[in-house]
Amino acid sequence: MRIGIDAGGTFTDFVVEDDAGALTFFKIRSEPKAPARVIQAGIRQAAGNALDVAVVHGSTVATNALLERKGARTAFVTTEGFEDLIRIGRQNRSELYNLTPVAEPPLVLPRHQFGLPERMLANGEVLRRLEPSALAAITRALHDEGIEAVALCLLHSYANAAHEELALSHWEREFYVAASCRISPEFREYERAATTMINAYVGPLMQRYLDELAAACPYPLAIMQSNGGFLTAAEAGAQAVRTILSGPAGGIIGAAEVARQCGFQQALTFDMGGTSTDVSLVRETTTFTTEGMVGGWPVRIPMLDIHTVGAGGGSIARVDAGGALRVGPDSAGADPGPACYGRGMAPTITDAHVVLRRIESAQFLDGAMALDEARAAAAVQSLAGVVGCTLVEAAEGMLRVGNANMERAIRVVSVERGEDPRDFPLVAFGGCGGLHACEMAEELGIRTVIFPAFSGALSALGMLLADRTRDYSASAAGRDVEAAFAELEGRAWSDVPGAAVERYADLRYVGQSYELTVTWRNAEAEFHAAHARVYGYSAVERPVETITLRVRAVLATPPLREQVRQRSEEAPALRRVRVRGRWRKIPVYQRDALPDQFAGPALVLDYGSTVLLTPGWQGQRHASGHLICHS
């Protein structure tokens, strides 16, 4: 038996593959203050008396600690004279036209930034040796300040890690230590320092969470990482930064498999959950980046190229100081949750759908969780009173604003990367994805939308599809490339015996500031093609330089067995629903009772998700159980 777990902001999803290969799933309401308790309860419910069980878990512990600034008390240690490195950062301005920008709260206080008297040159030569007495002096200061974690990032340690390794061995028994030579051994001091600092900041919390989980879970536990593979629990505790996009990565893996089953080699993925929406572009394989941004900080590790916006079912609507309607990024989360859940009173996207009768209490989690429809209407009415419109107009306005936010996110991963969204099908999933996908697709000119089976828990399902994956990197400057690749491959096979390894490299034209990652087999030709695709031109006459060498080790997971969903002959009910500015009586189908073909407008209900097929769309039930819709 295998269990995939996606801990979301509103619900935690569990997908169970039994020994016969059959899949089932269920949801439990998340508890942000005690996430391990929900995971433990779900594992007990899923596993029963089974003995041979493996668990793959997508965790939001590291993500939430970073976004909420609730990490460990962390010190930053670097080469003397560079203590302000993480405060200076880059000159890029995220809010170009804001005349009074407000800086994000620092992860490390200025008095917790320390310099070591040492110096390594860019070629790895030691200019000033690090003396153990210098480490002892800083150790006392770390204890005096009550430091729990140390982010260690010395100048040019990617070329020679001797000084970092010395400091690591001195401190690792007393503190949680993240050393850049092990977290991100690449050039660009700020990005390397920021990635290492984030690992130190969230690492102790991740370790405690995993220790608590492991103590109550008698089964092998793996953690989904941001690159679409998984780590052992021990690896995740040491390299917590690699789990920053843990949950969304599972969704991308699941969506890529759904697209393949439906005959598409590329797709746009749209995962709308309770707190946020995650979008990505998938080609024949998933798309990676090493230049991610999370919580305002650069994260320099390989990860799936995912763009996240604060727009989910729990996103709160408000009127800003200028009188404009805004939706998100603040979310009602799991506690108190949308007003219809019976605790909160803030108007959310889910409440708007309840007002428009796209969601009803009887359909929510197959009726297992009652919705307070009157409370939802009261919450949206409070917004309508501020705006000066009717209840229905306020609900429709909330959905239009939410759609606009999510449409912009899809343009970021398509149009802004040189891709036309009209060339891709849209794979829509998550608890709310099916309610918004057709309307968004129309705005973007997308003609095909796929609604997967298990839409409400596709991220958890994707975790069962994930391979054990490790990424390794080294600077190419001044190195014998073959010897460097051989060293990285040796580490990969040592960590993941039996893995298949692939070589990659970061290349750029001489004189450029940024690189593109390509496979090493035909690196230059692939680089020219990638440059033309991303930037609209290539310059084959210009010399190309190799900046970073990368190796990826993958130990494949056995594929899921083909699922057979039972068909039902249940006739559709009729419901009065607000669609396209009109109240219409439309058919409401159960997912297992869908005809082979049908037309919108219609609602399709499934445990954990709802699909709204708007007028002009045609639905077709695929043999795999997925729903393919065309306009």
- Model confidence over 117-165: pLDDT tens digits? 999 999 999 999 999 999 999 999 999 999 999 999 999 999 999 999 9
Does the pLDDT at position 36 exceed 90?
A: no
pLDDT above 90: percentage of residues in the chain: 63
Write down the mean pLDDT value for the chain.
Answer: 91
For residues 391, 395, 398, 403, the Cα torsion angle rounded to the nearest 10 degrees is -160
Fold of the CATH domain 71-89+102-201: Dna Topoisomerase Vi A Subunit; Chain: A, domain 2 (3.40.1360)
pLDDT tens track for 163-202: 999 999 999 999 999 999 999 999 899 999 999 999 999 9
Token pair for residue 417? Answer: 């990367």
Query: What is the rounded CA–CA span in Å between residue 629 and residue 442?
Result: 12
- Between the alpha carbon of residue 546 and those of residues 186, 487, 511, 517, 551, the distances in Å are 13, 17, 12, 10, 14
Among 297, 244, 330, smallest CA distance to 63 is for 244
Give me the pLDDT at residue 565, please.
Answer: 66
pLDDT tens track for 380-428: 999 999 999 999 999 999 999 999 999 999 999 999 888 899 999 999 9
Among 74, 71, 76, 107, smallest CA distance to 209 is for 71
pLDDT tens track for 39-79: 999 999 998 888 899 999 988 888 888 877 889 999 999 99
Residue 240 pLDDT class (50, 70, 90 cuts): very high
Segment 343-348 long-range contacts (CB within 8 Å, at least 24 positions apart):
344/379, 345/375, 345/378, 345/379, 345/382, 346/316, 346/317, 346/379, 347/316, 347/317, 347/379, 347/380, 347/382, 347/383, 347/394, 347/398, 348/313, 348/314, 348/315, 348/316, 348/317, 348/379
- Between the alpha carbon of residue 338 and those of residues 314, 371, 417, 436, the distances in Å are 6, 10, 35, 17
Residues 503 and 519: beta-carbon distance below 8 Å: yes
Does the pLDDT at position 93 exceed 80?
A: no
* Sign (positive or negative) of CA dihedral 390, 396, 397, 402: positive
Does the pLDDT at position 31 exceed 90?
A: no
Tell me phi and psi for residue 182, to 5 degrees: -105, -25
Residues 590 and 605: beta-carbon distance below 8 Å: yes
The pTM is what?
0.88
pLDDT tens track for 389-402: 999 999 999 999 99
Residues 246 and 7: beta-carbon distance below 8 Å: no
Instruction: For the chain, give every domain's residue range.
Output: 71-89+102-201, 467-555, 573-630
According to the 3-state scheme, what is the secondary structure of 252-267? Answer: HHHHHHHHHHCCCCCE
Token pair for residue 167? Answer: 């400091």
Residues 118 and 154: beta-carbon distance below 8 Å: yes
Token pair for residue 53? Answer: 């069980």
Query: What is the rounded CA–CA span in Å between residue 584 and residue 577?
Result: 5
Does the pLDDT at position 452 exceed 90?
A: yes
**CA angle 146–148–153, rounded 5-degree value:** 115
**CA angle 6–614–354, rounded 5-degree value:** 60
